[in-house]
Structure 1
Amino acid sequence: MNTALVSLETLPRTAGPRPWTGPFAPPVRPLDVLGVPGQINLDYAATAPCARAAADAVTELLPWYASVHRGAGELSKRCTLAYERARRSVAGFLGARPGDEVIFTRNTTDALNLLAHALPATTTVVTFASEHHANLLPWPAGAVRLPVPASPGAAVRALDAALRELRRGTDPVRPVLVAVTGAGNVTGERWPVAELARVAHRHGARIAVDAAQLAPHAPVDIATLGVDHVAVSGHKLYAPFGAGALVGRGDWLDAAPPYLAGGGASAYVGPATHQVRWASGPARHEAGTPNLLGAVALGAVCAALGDADRDELHDREQALLARLRAGLAAVPGVEELRVFDAAAPRVGIVSFVVAGRDSAVVAAELATAGIGVRDGLFCAHPLTRRLIAEAAARRGWRNPPATALRASIGLGSTTEHVDRLLAALGRR
């Protein structure tokens, strides 16, 4: 059967890890990653390596590469089918509800900027000072930035108090959006998303989750968590080629002017200037020729992860993470950065500082040994500076480093990788 001739409406719309079966389901692909022999990549939190599932899906589609939603030929039909199938794969992977929209973007930053663009004019945004820049900078003037909480419970209580005060004496239907991370990109600590969502909804607010760091490491189910919007990046999810997604409720998005004005976003264009009727649904904010290969790569990884045993992957990663953290704690002069208690749940990310050493110099030395880590402030400048100061205070350092180091793991990471990093730091 020629899939290029099949209407997209024949594909089931059920949400779940694998939203359809039969001849139109994406193939089950291996869940491993590409790499370069001799190079140890411990920088997954910045950009994860390419999954073989993504590479294979793109390679298979390339001979058919053509327009999407813009042609009647066989190539165009097949590419349109692949693009929309990827959209549904992302929806299933993230547990989208019936009626939720999946809008392809460039990355999480682009997705949250799209959401900021679509906010009703009187919306107040509430977030925490511990956010990545992608969840700090897009929001309009007047956003409420809550202090960095000392614990997950403190975050829930602070949000409850802030929303109660915000609602006092104001229009009870005035739109409020809470914007939080699922897992911190500096420390890897997981945030109490479901509890924060319950608090937000109790006060008539919506909640958006930056899941860039959480989705690669743990299931993210929009319906179960009770959140309104989720943003993800393909390059964090083992899917290069420059795609991300904003997934969730579509009413604000359908009421807003297009993020980009152009072909595809318009349902009708008349002869008069600005005589335009805009499309509804994802097309409204996907003007121009879409990033087909990026979407297909992301969809392929979502399908592969949806077929995987996430509990087994989680247990394996947590064992590596425990080995990494214990090893760092045993290296003289090394101190881990953290927001919450040391025992708080986290994904495979650890940031740390080395007493008396410039982080960029340490990272360069590690690179000569074939070990790649990140150094800097991790696009979370206010938080990272604060955590460096707190780490120095815990250890009694008089002159803390200006920046930090970050080691992050995921699919493809091994005990050898962790042990070689620890050995190299011990020899510094």
Structure 2
Amino acid sequence: MTVTLADGTISDHINLDYAATAPCLAVAADAVNEALPWYASVHRGAGAASQRSTLAYERARQTIGDFVGARPDDYVVFTRNTTDALNLLARSLPANTTVVGWAGEHHANLLPWGSSAVSLPVPRSAGEAVDGLDAALAGLHGPVLVTVTGASNVTGEVWPLDLLTEVAHRHGARIAVDAAQLAPHRPVSLSESDVDYLAFSGHKLYAPFGAGVLAGRADWLDGAEPYLVGGGATAFVAAHASNGQVSYAVDWNSGPARHEAGTPNLVGAVSIAAVCDALSTADRPALAAAEEKLVQRLRDGLEALPGVGELRTFPAGHDRVGIVSFAVAGVAASDVSAHLATHHGIGVRDGLFCAHPLSRRLLEDASARVGADLGLSAVRASVGLGSTEEHVDRLLLGISELTR
């Protein structure tokens, strides 16, 4: 891909916005192209195309279940994205469930739980997060769900999921993880971590075809009213007329179909499965190590520039995936991203990254560290499988031009 820069020259386009939407892997596109000639109704036809589509859809469910280490009695439910998956879980909670989370979550994991959720303050360290959760759960009774990001979409910092899960289960609570930013960068396993629910999006996992996943414990999902009502969710519907009024008696399906009403997104399902299969056979430790080098190169370069402050929640050396957010004193974040795009062909994100409370807090912290006002929004650079040292260096060059 090439773009035309402000001076009229042609340049390669550099994508450093993987955290928003990752590019499509060839295996995902190939899986879609293979499925399309046979595209037909899923679960609703006896013809060869319908049967083949149904098989592809359910095979995709199994492949994704294997990728996330689903337990034998877990469900893998297809959704539109992580936001949809977490809203589905919020609609499936037993009556009087208390939800406990942190004020620094992405809006998708902050807003679905309602105003009655317990919102813990943003911790300064992983240990503070664990201790704060322990204290918050001590006085709670009845069903409790802890909800937390796996890796921050603002800073890339990885949260201490093993310790948080242990604390939650010790208090009889369940835990749900927003893995939208974690799953593309690190292995995730329900069975190994004992996390109860996991949500992620295809479009952040190199499968941008409009599908996501909620995977986890079956009982709450089977005990809830369907997230969507309509064909596919129903096992039996009968009409009853009385006094001129018609009512309907409905028996809902159990299993994933209960929450997958309507014609499912076959293309999205098979594309996610193809990427999961490819990542399962890849050398993920080597990929993570290469990504870590790129992130450190970027962070070191930013630290060397005057008036540039990095956003972070935890201490500087904390584990993170390929996301770095920063701001430049005296230059609006929108101007930084525009300069990078028009003069260097680099795509990044600017704003508050759908995590407004957290981003504002971290901008204040970064301003204090730099000793300058960094403004009201930030720039986010995120790397992935196609990122190189040259990409990072061109980004740093573009920012350095703004700091002179």
TM-score, L = length of structure 2: 0.94
* Distance apart, 1:141 and its partner CA: 3.1
Task: Select 2:349's aligned residue among 374, 383, 395.
Answer: 374
1:170-249 matched pairs, under 5 angstroms: 174-249=142-217
CA distance in 2 between counterparts of 1:118 and 1:338 reads 33
Task: Select 2:311's aligned residue among 337, 340, 360.
Answer: 337
1:330-369 matched pairs, under 5 angstroms: 330-368=304-342, 369=344
Contact 2:97–2:145 at 8 Å: present in 1 too? yes
Contact 1:234–1:240 at 8 Å: present in 2 too? yes
* Distance apart, 1:332 and its partner CA: 1.7
The one-letter amino acid of 1:235's match is H
Contact 1:259–1:285 at 8 Å: present in 2 too? yes
* Distance apart, 1:35 and its partner CA: 9.2
Task: Select 1:153's aligned residue among 127, 139, 148.
Answer: 127
**1:424 corresponds to 2:398:** yes
CA distance in 2 between counterparts of 1:88 and 1:310 reads 21
CA distance in 1 between counterparts of 2:117 and 2:376 reads 28
CA distance in 1 between counterparts of 2:324 and 2:230 reads 43
Contact 1:377–1:403 at 8 Å: present in 2 too? yes
Equivalent position SS for 1:231: strand
**1:71 corresponds to 2:45:** yes
Task: Select 2:367's aligned residue among 392, 395, 413.
Answer: 392
**1:285 corresponds to 2:238:** no
Contact 2:308–2:370 at 8 Å: present in 1 too? no
Contact 1:35–1:49 at 8 Å: present in 2 too? no
Q: 2:243 is matched with which residue? A: none
Q: 1:305 is matched with which residue? A: 279
RMSD, aligned CA: 1.1
Q: 2:24 is matched with which residue? A: 50
CA distance in 2 between counterparts of 1:317 and 1:82 reads 32
Q: Deviations over 1:198-241 (max 9, x none)?
A: 10000000000000000000000111111100000001100011
CA distance in 2 between counterparts of 1:331 and 1:50 reads 33
Q: Deviations over 1:262-307 (max 9, x none)?
A: 0000011113222110000000000000011011111110111011
Contact 1:178–1:206 at 8 Å: present in 2 too? yes
Equivalent position SS for 1:394: helix
Contact 1:125–1:179 at 8 Å: present in 2 too? yes
Q: Deviations over 1:156-179 (max 9, x none)?
A: 000000000224xxxxxx100000
Q: Deviations over 1:88-145 (max 9, x none)?
A: 1110110000010000000000000000000112000000011110110000331000
Equivalent position SS for 2:139: helix
The one-letter amino acid of 1:389's match is E
Q: 2:299 is matched with which residue? A: 325
The one-letter amino acid of 1:365's match is H
CA distance in 2 between counterparts of 1:74 and 1:95 reads 31
CA distance in 1 between counterparts of 2:39 and 2:279 reads 25
Q: Deviations over 1:391-427 (max 9, x none)?
A: 1111221x33110000000110011111110111111
CA distance in 2 between counterparts of 1:338 and 1:184 reads 10
TM-score, L = length of structure 1: 0.89
CA distance in 2 between counterparts of 1:327 and 1:73 reads 59
CA distance in 1 between counterparts of 2:149 and 2:22 reads 18
The one-letter amino acid of 2:184's match is P
Q: 1:8 is matched with which residue? A: none
Q: 1:123 is matched with which residue? A: 97
Q: 2:384 is matched with which residue? A: 410
The one-letter amino acid of 2:205's match is L
Change (3 A) 1:324 1:400: closer
The one-letter amino acid of 1:229's match is Y
**1:88 corresponds to 2:62:** yes
Q: 1:252 is matched with which residue? A: 220
**Unaligned regions of 5+ residues in structure 1, if any?**
1-33, 168-173
Equivalent position SS for 1:340: coil
Aligned length: 388
